Structure 1
Amino acid sequence: MGPVKSARPTRAERAQQTRHRMLDSARTLFISDGYAATTMERIAETAGVAVQTLYYTFRTKGQLLCEVVETTAAGDEEVVPVAQRAWVRDMLTAPSGPRVLALAVEHGADIFVRAAPLWPVVTAAAADPHVEHYWRRVATDRRAGQARMVARLAELGVLRPGLEPDRATDLVVVLFGHDVFRSLVTQAGWSVPEYKAWLFTTLAQQLLQRHRLPPTAHSDLSYSHLITT
């Protein structure tokens, strides 16, 4: 019996592979050359496709950038909304306040790690109406997700006395935001584990009743334990 020939990719699979190649090329060029200097013609050339194919698939450079950000933040090409991810379900059913925060920090910060190289590109493209609308939606969705996290803390009865959920959400939006990540990790050079440990401890101090904090809330060990248990 001769060797079994591998099945040829279907038309849909080839189209998906081409799409991935275009997104990868755009991501690389946006990060290395910036938004203005990255042309659709250059992206198409790097991806090995006709520029008409690139325009047909993504319409405009601004829309292409938004999809690059979405897939990069998600960590794969099949973008699953954050609210539908398994770790979010785990967070919203976690049995304790520290566990809720630990899951949010561990996985939410990883989104920042993946997407941060593209943030300057988004800023440079802010004049594009599609990009501006997309980034406003990102901010709205992020606050909504953080509000759901705070609602779980309130449901568990572990919020600091007198701290209303809306005010707690305000604190999370600021502390667990792009600007703080950029300041500490990108600019000040903190390692990602240092940032995560600081963020977990700070959120716990700002949001949780003191008697609900783990005895070693200020250590990396406590944070790591909450993630793995």
Structure 2
Amino acid sequence: MKDTVIDDLFDRAAGPVRPFEFDADVARVFPDMVRRSVPGYAELVGLSGLIARRVAGPGARCYDLGCSLGAVTRSILRQTDSDVSVVAVDNAPAMIEGLQARLAAEAETDVTRVETLCADIQSIAIEEASLVVLNLTLQFVPIEARLGLLQRIRAGLVPGGVLILAEKFASPEGRAGDWLTTLHADFKRANGYSELAIARKRAALERVLIPESLEEHERRLAEAGFTGSVRWFQSLNFVAWLAWT
């Protein structure tokens, strides 16, 4: 399945801006949206698959929480043995349907390796996991629920299991934060987004995507019971950690 639909959702000036929602319209343009909005996204996804190859041994189970259309799920499948399985979870029916369609369209993919769940990631059981991925997902979970989710993930990991956490972080005060914010907007302009689209999407995400500081994320990982973590990826104000049991 070709992901060629252009994201023009926020180029329409009519009417008030609705809060961002992972509905069928977003699912339709999501590959283009994330490519043009998140610097380094392809590298982040590809490296996540390489981490899976390191930690997911024979018969391992992985979880992709907030999987959207399954870019990370498919990266894991490509990099691991045929007896490694992935539980791909998203609460948006359009995203799960899109993932299922993509898996079915890829002749080389064994769809029996993937269990797709349309569910709230805060309510599912996480059991015997070698790898759990939260790829730009925790930022959409209410702040007061984030620690509990990480604690459940930690409890569901096998010895030697790891968590990949990727987030947009809150820009620091002062000149450093100004640079990150300005360059991210420049990145979107360079990828063809109009000033109108940038402004309307920012308004749609306000109070839906709640970023936090790097320090807050790292404090919470330790509080959740992970014995260590490392920042292994950063592109502008997007960062990913590897946290281990």
TM-score (norm 1): 0.31
Q: Greater Rg, structure 1 or structure 2?
A: 1
Question: Going by fraction, where is strand more abundant, 1 or 2?
Answer: 2
Question: Going by fraction, where is helix more abundant, 1 or 2?
Answer: 1
Which structure is richer in relative contact order (CA contacts within 8 A, separation 6 or more)? 2
